[in-house]
């Protein structure tokens, strides 16, 4: 199963009023393992950045001036996400911006490219009703170190979200849930696969001396328990006083 943990940064909060994407960060997982095949780009939004947004992510118009426009990276991005499950925190926000960018370059919508979308904010609210479920709050809850996160950044936030997602869905590794790929098909690094071939067992019978010692031990137990030793032969006549 191929999953892409995705995060974006934008010029503001409202794509319908013309706010644009300025950064996209993606972390790839296959069968719940990081592959290193990540995708990250800054994007020139061709408009000013709201001061409130700039205070959150620290990205300026000057920094983005020489970065590619979304149209320049759109084909590469679509091929990267095609057919994957996108895992996004507060997915409605990011997808609205991505859909707006896709529409500008004639690519339809994100879901038109064979992707499915999972929202970790919705998942967190179901798991932790009534609690704070921001990315920072989830990092605290699952003991994921985010001390280096002083400003938002799409790639950094995607990395943190990937760790949060794995922590939230850890039960999916169990046999009760089931996994598409058998565990032996993806062995842990440095671990040898255990052979499942039948093993010939060796049977060692007790000799006369050992059987005698065993009977003596059981007799002692029987005496101490008032005739209640359950390991003695079942045809032993019960003591009429204890039966």
What is the domain extent for residue 238? 202-243
- Residue 57 annotated among the catalytic residues of the structure: no
Indicate whether 226 and 117 sit together in one domain.
no
Residue 89 domain-assigned? yes
Q: Three-state DSSP class for 148?
A: coil
- Are residues 145 and 213 located together in one domain of the fold? no
pLDDT band for position 176 (50/70/90)?
Answer: very low
pLDDT band per the 50, 70, 90 thresholds, residue 174: very low
User: How many independent structural domains does the chain possess?
Assistant: 2
Tokens of 80: 């990267």
End of a domain among 135, 156, 185?
185
- Residue with the larger pLDDT of the pair 186 and 14: 14
| Catalytic site residue from 113, 148, 152, 214 | 152
Do residues 33 and 189 lie in contact, with contact meaning Cβ atoms separated by under 8 Å?
no
> Max alpha carbon distance in the chain (Å)?
100
pLDDT tens digits along 17-51: 999 999 999 999 999 999 999 999 999 999 999 99
* pTM score, whole prediction: 0.69
User: Looking at the structure, do residues 51 and 163 belong to the same domain, yes or no?
Assistant: yes
Count of CB atoms situated within 10 Å of the CB of 73:
18
pLDDT digits (tens, 9 = 90+) for 119-171: 999 999 999 999 999 999 999 999 999 887 766 889 999 999 999 999 999 87
121 domain-assigned: yes
Separation CA 12–CA 54 (nearest Å): 8
- Are 150 and 219 within one domain? no
Give the pLDDT score at 243. 44
Does residue 190 form part of some domain? no
Q: What are phi and psi of 82, to 5 degrees?
A: -55, 130
Indicate if 230 and 160 belong to the same structural domain.
no
Same domain, 155 and 78: yes
Residue 161 covered by a domain: yes
Question: Where does the pLDDT of residue 180 fall: very low under 50, low under 70, confident under 90, or very high at 90 and above?
Answer: very low
Nearest CA-CA partner of 110 in 132, 82, 135: 82
pLDDT of residue 196: 64
């Amino acid at each position: 199963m191929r999953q892409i943990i995705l995060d974006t940064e934008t010029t503001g909060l409202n794509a319908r009023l013309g706010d644009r994407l300025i950064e996209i960060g993606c972390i790839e997982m296959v069968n719940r393992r990081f592959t290193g095949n990540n995708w990250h780009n800054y994007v020139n939004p061709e408009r000013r950045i709201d001061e409130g947004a700039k205070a959150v992510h620290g990205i300026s118009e000057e920094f983005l001036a020489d970065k590619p426009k979304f149209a320049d990276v759109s084909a590469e991005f679509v091929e990267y996400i095609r057919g994957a499950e996108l895992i996004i925190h507060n997915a409605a926000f990011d997808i609205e911006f991505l859909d707006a960018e896709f529409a500008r370059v004639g690519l339809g919508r994100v879901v038109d490219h064979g992707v499915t979308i999972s929202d970790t904010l919705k998942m967190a609210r179901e798991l932790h009703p009534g609690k704070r479920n921001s990315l920072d709050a989830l990092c605290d809850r699952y003991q994921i170190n985010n001390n280096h996160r002083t400003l938002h950044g799409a790639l950094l936030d995607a990395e943190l979200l990937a760790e949060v997602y794995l922590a939230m869905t850890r039960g999916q590794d169990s046999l009760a849930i089931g996994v598409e790929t058998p565990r032996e098909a993806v062995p842990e690094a440095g671990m040898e696969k255990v052979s499942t071939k039948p093993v010939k067992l060796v049977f060692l019978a007790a000799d006369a001396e050992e059987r005698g010692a065993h009977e003596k031990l059981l007799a002692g137990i029987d005496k101490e328990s008032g005739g209640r030793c359950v390991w003695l032969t079942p045809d032993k006549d019960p003591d009429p006083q204890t039966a």
